[in-house]
Chain A
Amino acid sequence: MSRTITIKALKYNPNSKVSKPHMVEYKLEETDGMTLFIALTKIREELDADLSFDFVCRAGICGSCGMMVNGKPQLACRTLTKNFEDGILELFPMPAFKLIKDLSVDTGNWMNDMSKRVESWIHTTEKVDISKLEAPIEPIVAEETFELDRCIECGICVAACGTKLMRPNFIGAVGLNRVARFQMDPHDNRTDEDFFELVGDDDGIFGCMSLLACEDNCPKHLPLQNKIAYMRRKLVAVR
């Protein structure tokens, strides 16, 4: 039997001089297998065409639709409304990112800056010939490296991080995970000393307070806790 669910969303346009932050309440009929993304689309189509939120893939792959759902950062496309017993979902945009409007935030530019900051590409002294096969590596190492590559840059680890909210320049779990990914990759010739130059400070690995909300909320279940600990052990040993 279907029920009526209530979605409360923060509406605010920081670029408008007349816009004031306020909560708007929408009521709609729940359908079978309804995700929050579907509900928001329905709201936009039928109730409020002005409501802004981000999405692309609708399948938990692109990492665009992160938002705070009843206080926790989640992907709207992977959030089933039926899991909310009281049928009430309170939505806020993800903190830590630049607010564009309502539930829409700019994770893209932040992730781009992060990638540049941790030099998120293979550093090698070898001349790369793309017409030839890449040098083989042990399958177990490849598996561990690509496991970390599953990050979809949704920003949920960043929005979940109390450290990041207090200290805006903190690199966040996504950045530390990225460093761990390249540190483990045998194709990358960088040393721990090189990685220290990137994240060996209080805005990087030594600023992490191990609150682990990143680990507990990552929609891809990446091993953030042990990779951050791994990088901390590696970099604290750099002389």
Chain B
Amino acid sequence: MSDLIEGFLGKSVEGKKSRLPAKLDFVQSATGLFLGLFMWGHMFFVSTILISKDAMYAVAKFFEGSAFLNEPRPILVSGVVFFVFIVFIVHAAMGMRKLPTSFRQWQVYRTHMKMMKHEDTTLWFIQAVTGFAMFFLGSAHLFLMLTQPGTIDPYGSGDRMLLLWPFYILLLLSVEFHGGIGLYRLCVKWGWFEGSDAKVTRKNLKKVKWAITVFFLALGFLTMAAYFKIGLDHRDNAGERYHPSAMVITHMNVGVKS
């Protein structure tokens, strides 16, 4: 009954304002922080392909439990992806509250943005558009990883990049712009790293934000190029799984002995 009264009046049975908007704002920030930091880690993991195929393979197998299981289990990756997917959906739901929901809201914001030429106002719009794009792009990628975790290896990812490179270019741009702007906004929204002069801190945060965005975009495009090349070289054997060099050498040695 108390939920009914609160829903009807917007006030609890004690006559107090609902605490939910505070919680939703907090959850939006917390999930955004998690996803933003996760994407930094994710980028470092996938970019190990720039070191070598074996390095990327080792990282992929590590997440399948190679460090503590006799046989790596891709289902563990699905578990991680499932958790990230849940956080992603919650964040999307929280973010939706802020998006323009009518033509007039869209129109007035666009006009305001064009008139003001104010960087943070424009950045929010980019964040909103990339966030909207990720409803689809992020979901598609997460679904792929959720259902095909065993294909994450240099060849599997290379084959995927060869096939889906336009999709991954859009996803990379969306993630890096949305995440970079989002992490910056989190800092100014909650007053993190404020120091004695918030204006100076904000300027510095903005510089760091752009530096991080450029760094991760550069790393992302290089990584994509590396996977694309592997996919191209490997296109005649698409679908084949990767075997690390050490394993190939062992097999060769076994072959010589027999």
Q: Are A225 and B188 in contact (CB under 8 A)?
A: yes
A212 within 8 A of B: yes
Separation of A123 and B97 alpha carbons in the complex (Å)? 33
Contacts A162-B109, A233-B191, A238-B19 hold; do A212 and B120 have CB atoms under 8 A apart? yes
- Collect the chain A residues with CB atoms within 8 Å of residue B24's CB: 206
Q: Are A210 and B185 in contact (CB under 8 A)?
A: yes
A196 within 8 A of B: yes
Smallest beta-carbon distance B153→chain A, Å:
41
Per-position contact with B for A158-193: 1 when CB-CB < 8 Å, else 0? 001010011100000000000000000000000001
Separation of A206 and B112 alpha carbons in the complex (Å)? 21
Contacts A71-B116, A196-B17, A225-B188 hold; do A206 and B22 have CB atoms under 8 A apart? yes
Per-position contact with A for B167-206: 1 when CB-CB < 8 Å, else 0? 0000000000000000001001111001000110010000
- Collect the chain A residues with CB atoms within 8 Å of residue B109's CB: 162, 165-166
- Collect the chain A residues with CB atoms within 8 Å of residue B124's CB: 162, 209, 211
Q: Are A232 and B198 in contact (CB under 8 A)?
A: no
A68 within 8 A of B: yes
Q: Are A236 and B22 in contact (CB under 8 A)?
A: yes
Separation of A135 and B100 alpha carbons in the complex (Å)? 48
- Nearest A residue to B115 via CB reads A71
Q: Are A95 and B112 in contact (CB under 8 A)?
A: yes
Contacts A223-B198, A229-B190, A230-B191 hold; do A213 and B16 have CB atoms under 8 A apart? no
Q: Are A202 and B121 in contact (CB under 8 A)?
A: no
Q: Which of B100-122 contact A (CB under 8 A)?
A: 100, 105, 108-109, 112-118, 120-121
Per-position contact with B for A195-235: 1 when CB-CB < 8 Å, else 0? 01100111000101111110111000001011001101101
Q: Are A165 and B112 in contact (CB under 8 A)?
A: yes
**Interface SS of B by simple majority:** helix
B83 within 8 A of A: no
A72 within 8 A of B: yes
A239 within 8 A of B: yes
Separation of A202 and B97 alpha carbons in the complex (Å)? 9
B255 within 8 A of A: no
- Collect the chain B residues with CB atoms within 8 Å of residue A225's CB: 188, 191, 198-199, 202
Q: Report which residue of A68, A71, A162 has the largest number of chain B beta carbons within 10 angstroms of its beta carbon.
A: A162
Across the interface, A238 reaches (CB within 8 A) one of B22, B98, B118, namely B22
- Nearest B residue to A225 via CB reads B198
- Collect the chain A residues with CB atoms within 8 Å of residue B100's CB: 166
Q: Are A160 and B189 in contact (CB under 8 A)?
A: no
- Collect the chain A residues with CB atoms within 8 Å of residue B26's CB: 236
Per-position contact with B for A95-111: 1 when CB-CB < 8 Å, else 0? 10000000000000000
Separation of A71 and B110 alpha carbons in the complex (Å)? 12
Contacts A223-B198, A229-B194 hold; do A235 and B121 have CB atoms under 8 A apart? no
Smallest beta-carbon distance B63→chain A, Å:
34
Q: Are B98 and A160 in contact (CB under 8 A)?
A: no
Per-position contact with B for A15-38: 1 when CB-CB < 8 Å, else 0? 000000000000000000000000
- Collect the chain B residues with CB atoms within 8 Å of residue A72's CB: 115-118
Separation of A229 and B190 alpha carbons in the complex (Å)? 5
- Collect the chain A residues with CB atoms within 8 Å of residue B191's CB: 225-226, 229-230, 232-233
Q: Are A213 and B118 in contact (CB under 8 A)?
A: yes
Per-position contact with A for B74-114: 1 when CB-CB < 8 Å, else 0? 00000000000000000000000110100001001100111
Separation of A167 and B26 alpha carbons in the complex (Å)? 20
Separation of A201 and B16 alpha carbons in the complex (Å)? 12
Separation of A232 and B124 alpha carbons in the complex (Å)? 19
- Collect the chain A residues with CB atoms within 8 Å of residue B108's CB: 95, 165-166
Q: Are A210 and B21 in contact (CB under 8 A)?
A: no
- Nearest A residue to B113 via CB reads A162
B25 within 8 A of A: yes
- Nearest A residue to B10 via CB reads A201
Q: List the 7 closest pairs (A to B, CB-CB), nearest first.
A: A229-B191, A71-B115, A210-B189, A206-B25, A226-B198, A166-B105, A206-B21
Chain B: residues with CB nearer than 8 A to chain A? 16-19, 21-22, 24-26, 97-98, 100, 105, 108-109, 112-118, 120-121, 124, 185, 188-191, 194, 198-199, 202
A/B interface sample: 28 pairs, CB < 8 A: A71-B114, A162-B112, A165-B108, A165-B112, A166-B109, A197-B17, A200-B17, A202-B97, A206-B21, A209-B98, A211-B118, A211-B120, A211-B121, A212-B120, A212-B188, A213-B118, A213-B121, A216-B120, A225-B188, A225-B198, A226-B198, A229-B189, A229-B194, A232-B189, A233-B190, A233-B191, A236-B26, A238-B19
